[in-house]
Structure 1
Amino acid sequence: MKQTRRQFLKTTALATAAFGLAGTGIALAESVDLEELLIPGPLGDKILGDENAPVTIVEYASMTCGHCANFHKKTWPSLKEQYVDTGKVRFIFREYPLNQEAFAMSMLARCAPADKYFEIVDIMFEQLRSGALSGEFLPALTSLSKQIGYTQESFNKCLTDQGLLDALVAERDRASQKFGVKSTPTFFINGELHSGAMSIEQMGEIIEAAS
């Protein structure tokens, strides 16, 4: 029998607790092995930009993270225009869900058509984060899912996909255990770790130095 949406949220809450972020004992490293970092996770990577770009940025983000939302609102449009679209940066976005709401948002983004992924992520940052924090998340998520093409059946099927949930947990655990990710957003710029929602000026300076 399929879980209800409420049961799903309880299930993901338990999964979050079971795979807790605290207590890993890993210190944030200055840099990681870039070749290992660029090995895709079990769901594959979501990538924008020229694969031959001199700089690769990997972002780990949670879609309920305020700093992540600020980055995608204030910095991302300029980063994409100035560096990704011009072939200077290859950008890889990876999910790092911090709570059950973020898991649900990531799952729906992953279940949608692949060419809509980044568009849906942008919409979720803009429209759903406040609902997730205010307790009005589930109605907002249900409403938005209909706007982006989900039926009630496909919505329920996506959010009860245990394999998808397990893959997201595995990717988050790999980020914590292998690369020292503990907070969001975390960026790796050619393997060098940077935490926090940086401005376009800060990112531009690092990108130019790494080019």
Structure 2
Amino acid sequence: MSASRTPFRFAAMSRRAAITGAALAAMALSACGGSGGAGAAEGDMAKGAAEGAKVTLVEYASVTCVGCAAWQRDVWPQIKSKYVDTNQIRFVFREFPTPPQDVAVAGFLLGRCAAAKSGNPDDYFRVVDEMLASHPQLTPNQPGFAETLQRIRTGLGFSQEEYLACVTDEAAIAQMEERIRAGQAQGVSGTPTFYVNGKVVADRSVEGLSAAIDAELAK
């Protein structure tokens, strides 16, 4: 897709933002080992029970990740209804951008700007949800992500100038880089990755996650 048709990709982002996005795949390949997912982290976006809840479910995900989109569609509604909406657990979403990284970075930054502008964290999740729902074919390289960003920013009431200021914010980009490094240090190397009370859960199905959550709730 040409830059003229998609002003919300590399052409819309600062040089540093573009370099950051292009470097994320290489960063993910050098993940370190670690216990992973335990405790609160700077920049966490959360739903459900308050910090310090008996059980915390952490998801590392990307808005451009096919597996994340499938999980969001098929599993999340049941986990949300059973555990999050009832405040039985705290759900924490952590950003780990995947290809196309420039679009993932922009989507996450837009979500944070939306939440900051409205004062409502739900607007962050609104952006994440809409980005993940833009995978109707579940193919990683399908066109349309940039158009999705434009549609979302318009729906949020952001002008193009506000959007550009958001996705080229040097401080926000640096903070995202720190969150990515923190994920690597915890052993995250792909998405989606799930932790329940700091323990990785390989089975990300409703049954697998429910079993891990229920075991912790029963303690």
Shift of 1:23: 4.9
Query: Could you tell me how far apart the structure 2 residues matched to 1:180 and 1:210 are?
Result: 21
Query: Could you tell me how far apart the structure 2 residues matched to 1:103 and 1:203 are?
Result: 27
Instruction: State whether residues 45 and 92 of structure 1, in contact with CA within 8 Å, keep that contact through their aligned partners in structure 2.
Output: yes
Task: Specify whether residues 91 and 85 from structure 1 end up closer, same or farther in structure 2 by C-alpha distance, changes over 3 A only.
Answer: same
Shift of 1:18: 4.1
Query: Is residue 161 of structure 2 the alignment partner of residue 124 of structure 1?
Result: no
Query: Could you tell me how far apart the structure 1 residues matched to 2:96 and 2:150 are?
Result: 22
TM-score (norm. length: structure 1): 0.83
Task: Specify whether residues 149 and 25 from structure 1 end up closer, same or farther in structure 2 by C-alpha distance, changes over 3 A only.
Answer: closer
Query: Is residue 47 of structure 2 the alignment partner of residue 48 of structure 1?
Result: yes
Query: Could you tell me how far apart the structure 2 residues matched to 1:127 and 1:135 are?
Result: 10
Q: Which residue of 2 aligns with 1:86?
A: 86
**Aligned pair partner of 1:12 in 2, 7, 17:** 17
Identity of aligned residues (%): 33
Query: Is residue 193 of structure 2 the alignment partner of residue 186 of structure 1?
Result: yes
SS of the residue corresponding to residue 127 of structure 1 reads coil
Q: Which residue of 2 aligns with 1:139?
A: 147
Shift of 1:25: 5.9
Q: Which residue of 1 aligns with 2:212?
A: 206
Instruction: State whether residues 185 and 195 of structure 1, in contact with CA within 8 Å, keep that contact through their aligned partners in structure 2.
Output: no
Question: Partner amino acid for 1:38?
Answer: G
Shift of 1:16: 3.4
Query: Is residue 154 of structure 2 the alignment partner of residue 155 of structure 1?
Result: no
Task: Specify whether residues 162 and 111 from structure 1 end up closer, same or farther in structure 2 by C-alpha distance, changes over 3 A only.
Answer: same
Instruction: State whether residues 47 and 92 of structure 2, in contact with CA within 8 Å, keep that contact through their aligned partners in structure 1.
Output: yes
Instruction: State whether residues 29 and 189 of structure 2, in contact with CA within 8 Å, keep that contact through their aligned partners in structure 1.
Output: no
Query: Could you tell me how far apart the structure 1 residues matched to 2:187 and 2:127 are?
Result: 27
Query: Is residue 28 of structure 2 the alignment partner of residue 26 of structure 1?
Result: no
Instruction: State whether residues 103 and 145 of structure 2, in contact with CA within 8 Å, keep that contact through their aligned partners in structure 1.
Output: yes
SS of the residue corresponding to residue 63 of structure 1 reads coil
Question: Partner amino acid for 1:24?
Answer: S
SS of the residue corresponding to residue 93 of structure 1 reads strand
Shift of 1:128: 6.3
How big is the alpha-carbon RMSD for the aligned residues of Structure 1 and Structure 2? 2.5
Q: C-alpha offsets along residues 146-168 of structure 1, whole Å, 9 cap, x if unaligned?
A: 02221111111111111111111
Question: Partner amino acid for 1:118?
Answer: F
Query: Could you tell me how far apart the structure 1 residues matched to 2:132 and 2:31 are?
Result: 30
Shift of 1:54: 2.1
Query: Could you tell me how far apart the structure 2 residues matched to 1:117 and 1:57 are?
Result: 18
Query: Could you tell me how far apart the structure 2 residues matched to 1:26 and 1:129 are?
Result: 33
Task: Specify whether residues 13 and 128 from structure 1 end up closer, same or farther in structure 2 by C-alpha distance, changes over 3 A only.
Answer: farther
Shift of 1:195: 4.3
For structure 2, the 5+ residue unaligned runs are 1-6, 116-120
Task: Specify whether residues 22 and 171 from structure 1 end up closer, same or farther in structure 2 by C-alpha distance, changes over 3 A only.
Answer: closer
SS of the residue corresponding to residue 175 of structure 2 reads helix
SS of the residue corresponding to residue 188 of structure 1 reads strand
